[in-house]
Chains A and B, each alone.
Chain A
C-alpha cells in the first residue's frame, strides 16, 4: 500500500444531471478508494447509468465536481477523461464485426493519433495477453458475431481495462448472463482489483494499482453500495445518496 490509499482516488461531490426539466441524478456524492469495488444500486430509471455517464464525461454534468486524484475532471469530454485513467464497460456493445477479437482489443490500446499507420509488435502481444487474461484466449482469432453472449461481455471488459485504467465503470455487468456466468464474471472483476492492488499488471510502470469497478447488483461482488432510491419520482426526490 502506498500514499494513494489514504486519499480517495475518486471523489464525487454534488453530481447533478438534468435533462431539460428532468433531474436524472441529483446531488450524488461518494468517495472511491484504491482497490475498492463500489456499487450503485437502485431500480430502473433511478439514474445509475446517467451517473456513470456523467462521471465518464459522456453526458456533461449539470453541476457538481468529479475529483480524480485531486483534479476536477467534471465537464471534460469523454476521451480526455478516458486518457486520464478511466475505463467504461457498456451495457450494450457494438464491436467491430469484420475484425477479430484480438483486433477489437488492439483498438483499445491505440493512441489517439492520426499518424499511427502501422501497429507495432508490442501492441499485438499486449492485446493477446489481455485476451488470455479475460478468458478469450481460445477465441481471439474469431469474429465477434460468432461468439456467445458471455464472451462478448468479456470482450467489452477487455477493452475497458486494456490501458490499465485506475477507475473502471461497469454498467450492468451481469445483464443477460446466467447465474454461473455471473459467478465467473464476478470473480474476474475481483481478480483484476486484487492484481491491481499488488501491481502485477504493470511491473514495468509501477503505477496503476487500482483497477476498480463500480457496478450494481449481485451485492456480493461489491465492497460497498450506494443506494439510488428514486425511480420515477426523480424530479422531486430528496437527496438520493447518503454517503455510505
Chain B
C-alpha cells in the first residue's frame, strides 16, 4: 500500500478525480447526466472485476446483484414510502443476501457451471419481476416517488464521490493480502488449497463484497432515474455491457473497469446520431480491443509503463 501512494497511477487517478469534480462548473446538465450514469456503471464494472479478475470466477449475472439492490430499494420506497437512504442501504443488504444465497451453492460447482448458474439467476429475477407486476411494476417499470436530489450537479457529485470511494475500497482490497490470496485462489485453486487457504470462503467473501457494491450502486441509480425497469438494471444485455466494460478497461486492474464503463456509456451516447449503428460501432471497438489488447486500456498502459 505504501508504494501505491508514491506511484504514478495514484497521482494520475487523483488528478482525474479532481478534474472530474470541477465539471459541473462549466459543462451542460446533459453531459453531467450522462457521466452520472456512467459512474454508477463504473462501480458495476469494478465490482465485477473483483470476481473475474481476482477470484477467477466469471459472473454472467452482474445484473442479478444490481437488479436485486435496485428493485428492493425501489419497491420499499414505492410501497412503504421509507426514506431514500434507508431504502438504499436495505437494497445493498438485499443484494448481499441474494449474492450469498446464490454463491454458496454455485461456488461448489466447478468451471463454467458457476457462470451458468449466475446467468440463470438473472433470468429468474427477470421473470419474477414480470410475473409479480403488482409489486414490481412489471414490464412497464417501477415508479419511484422519491429522489435524492433533482440538482444535476449534486447528482453528479454524489455519483463521482460514490465511484471514487468504491474504487479506493475495491482497489485497496485487491492489493491487500486478502486480495493476494483471492488472486492465488483464482489462479490455481488446487495449489491455493494446498497452501492452506479455504478457497470457497475467500471466493464467497469476494462475491459478497461484489454484491454489496453492485446492489448499492443499483439502488443509487434507480433513485437517480426515478424509475426501475428490467431494461435498465436487470436485462442480460445490461450485464453484458458491464462485462465488456470491465474487460475493455483491463482485467485485474479494478480501476480500468471504471474507465471502460465510462468509455462505453459516453461513446454510445456520442454516436447516437448514427442511430442503430451506435451499438454496432461501440461493440466492434470493444471486440477489437478484447481481441488485440486482451489486457484492456489500463492493463496495456500499465504493462507499457512497466517496460520503460
User: Which residues of B are at the interface with A, using a C-beta cutoff of 8 A?
Assistant: 1, 172-173, 176-178, 180-181, 183-184, 187-188, 190-191, 193-199, 201-202, 205, 252
Contacts and interface: CB of A to CB of B under 8 A. Distances in A.
A115 B177 CA distance: 9
A98 B252 contact: yes
B196 A82 contact: yes
A103 B172 CA distance: 16
Interface of A: 56-58, 77-79, 82-83, 86-88, 90, 93-96, 98-99, 103, 106-108, 110, 112-119, 159-160, 163
Given A78-B194, A95-B187, A107-B181, 12 more contacts: A57-B193, A78-B193, A79-B195, A79-B197, A107-B195, A112-B196, A114-B178, A116-B177, A117-B178, A159-B191, A160-B194, A163-B196
Contacts of B205: 114
Given A110-B181, A163-B196, A118 B176 contact: yes
B198 to A, nearest CB: 5
Given A58-B190, A90-B190, A114-B201, A96 B180 contact: yes
Contact of B193 (A77, A94, A108, A114): A77
Contacts of A163: 196
A78 B1 CA distance: 31
A83 B196 contact: yes
B202 A94 contact: no
B213 to A, nearest CB: 16
Contacts of A87: 194
Given A107-B184, A114-B205, A58 B177 contact: no
A179 B138 CA distance: 71
Contacts of B184: 96, 107
A94 B197 contact: no
B5 to A, nearest CB: 13
Contacts of B194: 56, 58, 78-79, 82, 86-88, 90, 160
A73 to B, nearest CB: 13
* Residue from A79, A88, A108 having most chain B Cβ neighbours under 10 A: A79
A98 B290 CA distance: 19
B177 A79 contact: no
A165 B204 CA distance: 27
Contact of B191 (A57, A90, A98, A99): A90
Contacts of B1: 118
Contacts of B195: 79, 82, 107-108, 159
B217 to A, nearest CB: 22
A87 B194 CA distance: 7
A94 B184 CA distance: 9
A57 B194 CA distance: 8
B177 to A, nearest CB: 4
Nearest to A86: B194
B169 to A, nearest CB: 11
26 contacts: A56-B194, A57-B193, A78-B190, A78-B194, A79-B197, A79-B199, A87-B194, A88-B191, A94-B187, A94-B191, A96-B183, A96-B184, A106-B177, A107-B195, A108-B195, A110-B181, A112-B196, A112-B198, A114-B178, A114-B201, A116-B181, A117-B173, A117-B177, A118-B1, A119-B176, A159-B195
